[in-house]
């Protein structure tokens, strides 16, 4: 989930343009995580197709949650049951990017969100037996939260910690193998998260992505990462804590 500014201008793309970009993005998701997503629908939803009750989405270029497909099921054409769901703020993206940049950035952002999907204990949350009214209330909360800027009282790396970075770097490697040359900094780490740049994490991870090409992501995460990767994350974590202490004391 990435913060974006409030948008008032109309987007410079057509619905058909974004539909094609999102179709390509879904194909990329299946190419890099096909085994993890096997047999499941993937819902990539344009913010502009959702009603006002689902929020404006102005707080991010995209977002995902473990129960998002349930929250948005009434608004998903051809809903086919449980599966990972990502909302893409097509209007904000089209205002900030054009042409090939729009296609690249959208697909990179979808890969970022796929990183969240694969970093979860399960690609979607089992809500069997939950009161439908509870789901409706949660959907309203999500609409409110995702329409506002992220909270400033939590670290910027919250939700984008070591396991997420590791998943994203594997996604980068796999994407390159299928012809999508994505820069790791477009997916994870770096200054915006209060962390070292993604290239340093990529170097610390070494050849792990190449060695684990055929593995499920949950099996990759069940193994220990290289010591250099853990050391870099630990150093970043403690450095951020030390730098943030004066700010917290004011």
**Residues 134, 215 share a domain:** no
Confidence of residue 12 (pLDDT cuts 50, 70, 90): very low
Phi-psi region of 110 (alpha: psi -120 to 50; beta: other; left: phi over 0): alpha
Q: Is the pLDDT of residue 11 over 70?
A: no
**Residues 182, 80 share a domain:** no
Cα atoms in the 13 Å half-sphere on the side-chain side of 136: 4
Confidence of residue 14 (pLDDT cuts 50, 70, 90): low
Query: What pLDDT does 6 receive?
Result: 37
Of the ranges 12-16, 138-142, 145-149, 153-157, which is most confident?
138-142
Sequence-distant (≥ 6) Cβ neighbours of residue 43 within 8 angstroms: 68, 69, 72, 76, 79, 83, 84, 85, 86
**Residues 88, 192 share a domain:** no
Query: What pLDDT does 246 receive?
Result: 57
Average pLDDT for the chain: 91
**Residues 133, 33 share a domain:** yes
pLDDT tens, residue by residue, 192-241: 999 999 999 999 999 999 999 999 999 999 999 999 999 999 999 999 99
Q: Scan for tokens 């069997």, then name that residue.
A: 128
Q: Is the pLDDT of residue 122 over 60?
A: yes
Query: What pLDDT does 7 receive?
Result: 38
Q: For residue 9, is it within any domain?
A: no
- Residue 45 has phi, psi (to 5 degrees) of -110, 125
**Residues 141, 213 share a domain:** no
Nearest to 109 by CA among 205, 175, 178: 175
Query: What pLDDT does 89 receive?
Result: 96
Query: What pLDDT does 58 receive?
Result: 87
Of all residues in the chain, what percent carry a pLDDT higher than 70? 92
The DSSP-derived string for 7-73 is: --SPPSS-HHHHHHHHHHHHHHHHHHHTTTTTT---EEEEGGGS-GGG---TT-SEEE-TTHHHHHG
**Residues 109, 136 share a domain:** yes
**Residues 117, 82 share a domain:** yes
**Domain total of the chain:** 2
**Residues 23, 133 share a domain:** yes
* Average pLDDT of the residues in 40-47: 97
pLDDT tens, residue by residue, 69-78: 999 999 999 9
Q: For residue 2, is it within any domain?
A: no
Q: What is the Cα–Cα distance from 39 to 99, expressed in whole angstroms?
A: 32
* Average pLDDT of the residues in 174-178: 97
**Residues 180, 141 share a domain:** no
Q: For residue 29, is it within any domain?
A: yes
Residue range(s) defining the domain that contains residue 230:
162-249
Record the pTM: 0.91
**Residues 127, 167 share a domain:** no
Contact 48, 10 (CB under 8 A): no
Q: For residue 6, is it within any domain?
A: no
Lowest pLDDT segment from 17-21, 116-120, 201-205, 227-231: 17-21
Query: What pLDDT does 243 receive?
Result: 84
* Average pLDDT of the residues in 178-198: 96
Which of 81, 112, 145 finishes a domain? 145
Contact 216, 123 (CB under 8 A): no
């Amino acid at each position: 989930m990435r913060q974006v500014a409030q948008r008032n201008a109309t987007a410079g793309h057509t619905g058909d343009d974004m539909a094609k970009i999102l179709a390509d993005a879904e194909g990329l998701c299946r190419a890099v995580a096909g085994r993890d997503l096997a047999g499941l629908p993937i819902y990539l939803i344009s913010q502009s197709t959702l009603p006002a009750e689902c929020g404006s989405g102005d707080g991010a270029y995209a977002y995902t949650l473990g129960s998002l497909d349930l929250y948005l099921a009434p608004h998903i054409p051809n809903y086919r049951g449980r599966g990972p769901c990502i909302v893409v703020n097509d209007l904000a993206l089209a205002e900030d990017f054009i042409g090939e940049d729009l296609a690249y950035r959208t697909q990179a952002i979808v890969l970022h969100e796929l990183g969240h999907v694969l970093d979860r204990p399960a690609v979607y949350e089992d809500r069997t037996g939950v009161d439908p009214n509870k789901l409706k209330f949660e959907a309203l909360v999500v609409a409110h939260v995702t329409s506002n800027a992220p909270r400033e009282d939590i670290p910027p790396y919250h939700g984008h910690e070591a396991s997420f970075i590791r998943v994203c770097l594997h996604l980068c490697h796999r994407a390159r193998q299928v012809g999508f040359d994505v820069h790791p900094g477009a997916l994870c780490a770096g200054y915006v998260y209060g962390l070292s740049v993604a290239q340093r994490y990529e170097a610390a991870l070494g050849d792990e992505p190449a060695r684990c090409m055929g593995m499920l992501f949950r099996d990759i995460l069940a193994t220990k990462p290289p010591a250099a990767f853990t050391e870099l994350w630990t150093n970043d974590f403690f450095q951020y804590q030390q730098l943030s202490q004066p700010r917290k004391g004011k």
